[in-house]
Chains A and B, each alone.
Chain A
């Protein structure tokens, strides 16, 4: 219990304190804080037993407890945050306001920890709002007028999602506020499906589910690169996590599997996947292209969860983890390219591998994972989700599988030409004079780590799969699907 409390409170307090720190010491302090947060999170994930419990107003209770899925997310979130901190400290930008950026990053991590450890719907809702409130100043750190506009769009969509979730909470009634239970809490079915739909749309807003997906591209484009990486990786994962909690542990598969709500949601997820991939093809600004691909690829995880099959679930969990790592790495790569060469548009990036060969190779490998090329983790995830769609069966399942395959192909079409043009620019390419390298090990190292991670996930997919399967069996209570 102490570990859990410490893992939540430490980033919050550290983040609040960071605003008072002098700029010259901000980098070192942030790295120390990041390592401590990672240590606390890993310790909590491995050793934490027991829960933290607070009762308010006779009606609302705050419950923090870690279950298996939450432990995985704990480690993932803290690791990605540490890598982001390393990246920012090496990037050399945002000099005058770096302490503020670090502060809000820690605050967001604290809120995310609290969100993953939420044990009931009210706590999850509270943390969801806190994450929105604490992460939108991160977008503001982009510093431009467009960043302000992007931040307002982010707030608008986030609060629409939150309000939809609140409406769902009201309609679902008092029973929905009980602690999360495997297999769902037994709720009367009268308006429960409508409530579930509202929750899925509301929490799915953070995951970029259509129709509330339009915030992600401006926010990812205008914010600092590390913030875009975290938005696309960890915060989108928090949205998917919310959908997972609501689907499996509040409403349960008995209620939802086979109902109209499930069909609507699968349709929306497929639509998002296709839409994101298609829009990514023609987008020339690299960060925006990656953002559209994020919208598309996060929906793969949603498709996996919505099918309510074992393979789909395993694929969904695996996709959360692998996509978070791959997309974070790709955004870091985009940041590295911008830092080294100043290019932001894809059509400028021909022959970039000449200036930064190692980085470009890592970017290509991460792109392979995002697209779903074996032996990387993304392939395993896509395979499982596809199997889940097939197991779901019927026209819906076939259409979902077709949407998956098509989106994967379109993402390949979006990412591979970039890699090809960068590494093999063609005979008519005139190389510029090679400038001294501007990016240091602190920008390069996170890319290495993430690439190694997705490769490991891919090669050791059995391990990840077993973990997810264990969670699923606990949730469904031994259903074979």
Chain B
């Protein structure tokens, strides 16, 4: 029986990116490597968009067997509308981030190494897509490792002492997380004897029904969660993030903050939904821990951002806070909460890269100064960058008609169902909104206030930045103004998972 042609898209996307990565080794010049990476990401984004539309209209979720090896021995990919949308988010995000950060990459990275940088970017994108599509838990682990290594390389691409130190810190902490995840996978395999997610789900349902292995299951759920929490910078495992993201080149910061952190969370949610089922997770109290850490992370991230003077590190602390929003949504334990968390994933993937790319451009026009004090007036030299940075800041603060408002509204709605958590969640949203305003608004004011630091030489226009950041801006406004189709898609996709 012939498969519908679009069912090949998941595998094709991952494979294209990996082949492109290998082909990078043939590219001598950074520019050719960039063009290849950008084109391939954009192609994968287009394919993912087609797949999303096809699966959403048909409301189907299919499983793609690799080779002719049937379950439970073979490897599988599973794709529904939600996975396809997330794949689109990842590939489009990478493509636009590479475009917007190209001038910085050309300056920051040594010429012979640029093709390796784009190789790592392609591998990283392939790994993120694989984490979204995979139906096998050990494949998930393998791609977690691949993404960790490529993520470390793209941090290190900018060859300074600080980034190398930051990379080593990131590597060690990240591998700790992966190690814990692996122990969880191994224990799960020992208990159930399966690696494919559907089979694991059935087996775990049997075990829960008979009441055997309750402590090991709790430990497994806990290990998987902690492993992912370490890698996605949830409180208290966030100390590595500001220096890794703050020091890297613009494309790297954008991809790391906006996309990489989320790929692990998506895998975790998939495992919790399909392997454990959400009721079991709730009974194991993992949701309580996610909620608590999420709320604290929201507040601590913003608090540290207020005192931060370096603009990219301030944005990195803001990412810590936004990841807290995601985990708070997941920790509410309801479908509505998870849907709100996924909406935040999409919104943050559009907003944070836009902020980083605009910040990168503003740093460039102001003579590579990075502190907010010396960046005063930078927006006057490149008004588009200033406007888009302001747009991102207003979205983070939660101005209605922008995407950030829908996120806050959605999280608040989701928390209403659970009376115990409602007041904590609402209070945390109130405090975190005020804290966000207290560092984003002064930054915006500083960027627009004319000052003696403004560089007098007229800066050449950077069309790549303009196209990339405007595209992100369009997504931010789109997600703010027409949220219902996306929310509908997310809820349908989640329904297909259970």
Contact = CB atoms under 8 A, between A and B. Distances in A.
A85 B412 CA distance: 42
Contacts of A133: 394, 399, 441
Interface stretch (A53-61, A76-84, A318-326): A53-61
Contacts of A163: 429-431, 433-434
A140 interface: yes
B438 to A, nearest CB: 6
A148 to B, nearest CB: 8
Interface string B480-491: 111110000000
A159 B400 contact: no
B372 interface: no
Nearest to B409: A170
Given A56-B482, A166-B412, A129 B429 contact: no
B441 A136 contact: yes
B400 A125 contact: yes
Interface in B419-471: 426, 429-431, 433-434, 437-438, 441-442, 445
A126 B405 CA distance: 10
Name the residue in B397, B401, B429, B437 with the highest tally of chain A Cβ atoms < 10 Å from its Cβ. B437
A156 B482 contact: no
Contact of A57 (B398, B406, B429): B406
B401 A126 contact: yes
A171 B437 contact: no
B483 A129 contact: no
Interface in A282-297: none
A167 B400 contact: no
B348 interface: no
A56 B433 contact: no
Contacts of A166: 398, 408-409, 412, 429-430, 433
A160 interface: yes
B423 to A, nearest CB: 9
Contacts of B437: 155-156, 159
Nearest to A160: B434
B438 A162 contact: no
B416 interface: yes
Contacts of B8: none
Contact of A152 (B399, B401, B412, B442): B442
A53 to B, nearest CB: 15
Contacts of B442: 152
Contact of A60 (B400, B416, B438): B400
A130 B400 CA distance: 9
Contacts of A142: none
Given A57-B484, A125-B400, A152 B426 contact: no
B160 interface: no
A122 interface: yes
Interface in A303-336: none
A155 B400 contact: no
A167 B412 contact: yes
Nearest to A137: B445
A164 B430 contact: yes
B429 A155 contact: no
Interface string B92-120: 00000000000000000000000000000
B360 to A, nearest CB: 25
Interface residues of A, number: 26
B212 interface: no
A66 to B, nearest CB: 21
Interface string A126-143: 100110010011001000
Contact of B445 (A126, A140, A162): A140
B414 to A, nearest CB: 10
A130 B398 CA distance: 11
Given A122-B400, A140-B445, A167-B412, A159 B484 contact: no
Given A133-B399, A137-B445, A155-B441, A162 B433 contact: yes
B413 interface: yes
Contacts of A167: 412, 426, 429-430
Interface string A53-74: 0001111100000000000000
Nearest to B408: A166
Contact of B426 (A122, A126, A160, A170): A170
B133 to A, nearest CB: 29
A153 to B, nearest CB: 10
A152 B440 CA distance: 11
A464 to B, nearest CB: 34
B434 A156 contact: yes
A56 B408 contact: no
B416 A170 contact: yes
B416 A56 contact: no
A170 B481 contact: no
Nearest to A58: B484
Interface string A26-63: 00000000000000000000000000000011111000
B387 to A, nearest CB: 12
Contact of A129 (B400, B413, B480): B400
Interface string B381-407: 000000000000010011111000010
A126 B480 CA distance: 13
Nearest to A128: B400
A166 B412 CA distance: 9
B412 A170 contact: yes
B22 to A, nearest CB: 43
Interface in A152-207: 152, 155-156, 159-160, 162-164, 166-167, 170-171
B412 to A, nearest CB: 4
Nearest to B406: A57
B438 A152 contact: yes
Nearest to B430: A163
A218 to B, nearest CB: 15
A59 B481 CA distance: 10
B286 to A, nearest CB: 26
Nearest to B485: A58
Contacts of B433: 159, 162-163, 166
Given A140-B445, A152-B442, A155-B438, A126 B400 contact: yes
Contacts of A156: 434, 437-438
A129 B397 CA distance: 10
Contacts of B483: 57-59
Contacts of A130: 399
Nearest to A158: B437
Contacts of A152: 438, 441-442
A59 B76 CA distance: 39
A245 B347 CA distance: 32
A3 B483 CA distance: 31
A133 B406 CA distance: 19
Interface in B172-210: none
Contacts of A59: 483-484
Contacts of A171: 416, 426
B476 to A, nearest CB: 14
Contacts of A155: 437-438, 441
A473 B55 CA distance: 56
Nearest to A126: B400
B413 A170 contact: yes
Contacts of B400: 60, 122, 125-126, 129
15 contacts: A57-B406, A57-B481, A57-B484, A58-B482, A59-B483, A125-B400, A129-B399, A133-B399, A133-B441, A155-B441, A156-B434, A160-B430, A160-B434, A163-B434, A166-B430
In the A-B complex, the 4 residue pairs with the closest CB atoms: A58-B484, A163-B430, A170-B412, A159-B437
Given A155-B437, A156-B437, A166-B429, 13 more contacts: A56-B401, A58-B483, A59-B484, A60-B400, A126-B399, A129-B399, A133-B394, A133-B441, A152-B438, A155-B438, A155-B441, A163-B431, A167-B426
